Structure 1
Amino acid sequence: MGLGVGPAGAQRGFLARACVAVAVGAGLVLSGACGGGGGSGGDRLSVGVLLPGGGASRFGQFDRPLIEQELKRLCPHCPAPVVAATPDADVQQQQLQALITRRVNVLVVAAIDPKVLRSSVEAAHRAGIPVVAYDRLAQGPISGYVTFDGATVGRLQGRALLTAMGKKADGGRIVMMNGATSDPNAGWYERGALSVLRGKVRIGKSYDTAGWRPENAYTDMTGAIAALGAGRIDGVLAANDSLAGAVISALDASAVRPLPPVTGQDADLAAVQRIVAGRQYMTVYKPYRAEAAAAVRMAVALGRGDPVTSVATGTVAGPTRRKIPSVLLPSYPVTAGTIKDTLVTDGIYRIDQICTPKLRSACAKAGLTR
């Protein structure tokens, strides 16, 4: 499932000299050994990394440590990298501006709000700093883009929901809990799902969840239950696991039984445990190691002045630039019966992490035994 990233020969020598610029909170801290000053060769290369969340988010659980590990692997003589994480778009813009001021060589940015960051991406371009869009396509003159194929994610969710609905997939009523309109991936997922669901189910309610915030999804799902009726929702297309958790909480609060099938995305541990318990039907697993590896390779190529096409496998069209060199990675559906062959086999979780004492019986049924 992973993307090969092993450097060879002279390239390994160069990668060992690459260093990482660190953005923390609203300010910026750069490791002294990395240096600034915009030089693109030797140990003067610096890469700024900004992510849109930490802690329990997928960026905190998966992307951050994987990027740190990959950069450390490719830069063994550099200080340990620290990757900035904030849920606030304005703070992220300040971090990006600070990185430009420090004249890093390359930026890797997972945008919280692509429109908010556009002026800063343009400023980076004017300063001669290429920007790699990570996971989410920022607006402006982006030099490269690494993500998962959003249409595939949506199709996987839609197909799984139809399977879980059984006979009700023919004309049943669903609720769609989509992501934030500020995130271009949300529309990508939705279009992929609709390409599967149209003509098969009725969409009773469809919501765009502001900020991808679970509390907003909870409110919207409560409204959908009130409008459609507690027993008249046959499935829920939830765009990610955080929204799925909020949806299930709203269904519980309204005493909806049995729970309709609910989809998800990101393979959060809590969601995997809900899947084992039969409370969430599926999630979409995206091998984040491959994404982190591709982004690091792309950033290093750009920092060297090498053509990014040495890493990119195709192009995508964005709102402000056509034919952005890109890597679009595959995703995989995960249900109770496939957790072991995907998440456990890939080392995302151990069985003892998933199988709490309350879940031992359900884990045994799902084949999650040591």
Structure 2
Amino acid sequence: MTQVSNHLIGAAMLGLALTSGTTALAATSGTVAFLMPDQASTRYEQHDFPGFKAEMTKLCPDCKVLYQNANADASQQQQQFNSVIAQGAKVIVLDPVDSTAAASLVHMAQSQGIKVIAYDRPVPSTPADYYVSFDNEQIGKAIAQSLVQHLKESGVSTSKGGVLEVNGSPTDAAAGLIKKGIHEGLAGSGYKTLAEYDTPEWAPPKAQQWVSGQITRFRTQIVGVVAANDGTAGGTIAAFKAAGVNPVPPVTGNDATLAGLQLVIAGDQYNTILKPSEIVAGAAAKVAVGFLSGQAPKGETTLFKTPTQLFQPAVITTKNLKAEVVDKGITSAKELCTGRYAEGCKKLGIGN
């Protein structure tokens, strides 16, 4: 495991605790909007919004929370943004579909005295009022370094071939940070990048289609794949299986989705990134309540000229999945060990 693996959730929880003092304030009411970008990843419906709602309920029981998901449509997100302003939102937590197009939304809100918290994905071209996220560049670096270490421990020669790189959406600034981190993680490893692809809308079918073409092109030269999230990893793995490649080369992931964790258990996916969205969602809620109380929370650092709080991710492989995911109650054995994954769970000592 890489050093990043040791920055486990305790570090993230510590960071959350450190910020709580800035926002344990006297806001008694107000309207806050929580605008998420897409449904290609299940995290927004299952983790981010529930985590945000729970923390808002705790900190400001009389606050009204508006939730919208743009389903990867920047125009729809603009309409939703306008709608929540019309409904009286004083703070908007925005995970943008298109990080560049989101600049105009930030300007519009700020001109009306509305605070904007960039969430997960930054808005590089204009300063939001706050940015809260897991460290996306570190995520990319961590998954790439973890893959490189695994290849070397497995005795895969750097002269045998190289890796494919399946990046996230070209309109997502967070995907750009992950991509930068992947490049850093692969640099100096000796494994060349055969080809790379920016996956529109993070769509797994588009990742699968591109990887299928690369399998035809490179076949046995592909020693591994750095996929930027579990969705693109799943598409990648499906492409190899459809092509009859067995075993599938090691594939990285990110988000520790149920499907991604199950693929790790099955041995189809090498790693993923554990970053419980509830942690970042809770931090965003604390910042929102701070703004409602008339006090601007301070960032731990500054990115894109915006006060920023970043949480550290944890790399998950079969070596620590039980200890870090199941034993800590993040995902249950009952959820993970269904159908064909029961055998893998048994090998890892995971029982339901």
**TM-score where L is the length of structure 1:** 0.85
What is the CA–CA distance in structure 2 between the aligned matches of 1:203 and 1:6, rounded to whole Å?
Answer: 40
| Matched residue, 1:190 | 179
2:158 is matched with: 170
Superposed displacement of residue 82, structure 1:
4.8
Which amino acid in the other structure matches residue 235 of structure 2?
A
- 1:256 and 2:242 aligned: no
Asked if the contact 2:34–2:49 (Cα under 8 Å) also holds between the matched residues in 1, the reply is: no
Q: Residue 227 of structure 1: which of 211, 217, 233 is its match?
A: 217
Change (3 A) 1:193 1:143: same
* Distance change >3 Å, CA 174–CA 293, structure 1 → 2: same
Identity level (%):
32
Structure 1 residues not aligned, in runs of 5+ = 18-42
Q: Is the 8 A contact 1:301 1:307 kept in 2?
A: yes
Cα distance in 1 between the residues matched to 2:53 and 2:40: 15
Post-superposition CA distance 1:296-339 (Å, at most 9, x none): 11111122221221xx211112xxxx2x1000110000011211
> What's 1:68 paired with?
53
TM-fit CA distance, 1:136: 0.6
- Which one-letter code corresponds to 2:173 in the other structure? P
Query: Which letter does structure 2 place at the counterpart of 1:348?
Result: I
Name the structure 2 match of 1:4: 17
Asked whether the equivalents of residues 25 and 290 of structure 2 are also in contact (C-alpha less than 8 Å), the reply is no
**Mapped partners of 2:157, 2:169: distance in 1:** 26
Flag the 1:116–1:13 CA change in 2: closer, same or farther, 3 A: closer
CA contact (8 A) 1:351 1:368 kept: yes
The 1:53/1:245 distance shift into structure 2, 3 A limit, reads same
**Letter aligned with residue 263 of structure 2:** R
| In 2, Cα distance between equivalents of 1:106 and 1:169 | 52
Aligned to 2:142: 156
1:335 aligns to 2:323 (yes or no)? no
My pick for the range that moved more, 90-99 or 242-251, is 90-99
Task: Work out whether residues 275 and 336 of structure 1, in 8 Å CA contact, stay in contact via their aligned partners in 2.
Answer: yes
2:273 is aligned with 1:284? yes
Q: Is contact 1:241–1:265 with CA below 8 Å preserved after alignment?
A: yes
Structure 2 partner of 1:143: 129
Bigger CA radius of gyration: 1
Alpha-carbon distance between aligned partners in 2 of 1:109 and 1:72, rounded to the nearest angstrom: 19
- 1:300 is paired with a residue whose SS is helix
Deviations, residues 27-60 of structure 1 (Å, cap 9, x unaligned): xxxxxxxxxxxxxxxx3x2211111134852212
C-alpha displacement at 1:7, in angstroms?
6.0
Matched residue count = 333
Query: Which residue identity lines up with residue 149 of structure 2 in the other structure?
Result: T
Is 1:14 aligned to residue 23 of structure 2?
A: no
**Structure 1 stretch displaced more, 335-344 or 122-131:** 335-344
- Determine the C-alpha separation between the residues in 1 that align with 2:294 and 2:62: 22
> Structure 2, unaligned stretches of length 5 or more?
1-9
Asked if 1:216 corresponds to 2:206, the answer is yes
Look up the equivalent residue of 1:316 and give its one-letter code.
L
**CA distance in structure 1 between the partners assigned to 2:207 and 2:171 by the alignment:** 16
Q: CA deviation at 1:11?
A: 6.9
Aligned CA-pair RMSD: 2.1
1:32-181 alignment, distance < 5 Å: 43=29, 45-54=30-39, 57-78=42-63, 81-87=65-71, 88-138=73-123, 139-165=125-151, 166-168=154-156, 170-171=158-159, 172-181=161-170
TM-score (norm 2): 0.89
Higher relative contact order (CA 8 A, sep 6+): 2
For 2:39 and 2:196, locate their aligned partners in 1 and report how far apart those are by CA, in whole Å: 28
For 2:57 and 2:351, the matched residues in 1 are separated by 33
SS in 2 for 1:245: helix
C-alpha contact (below 8 Å) 1:5/1:294 kept by paired residues: no
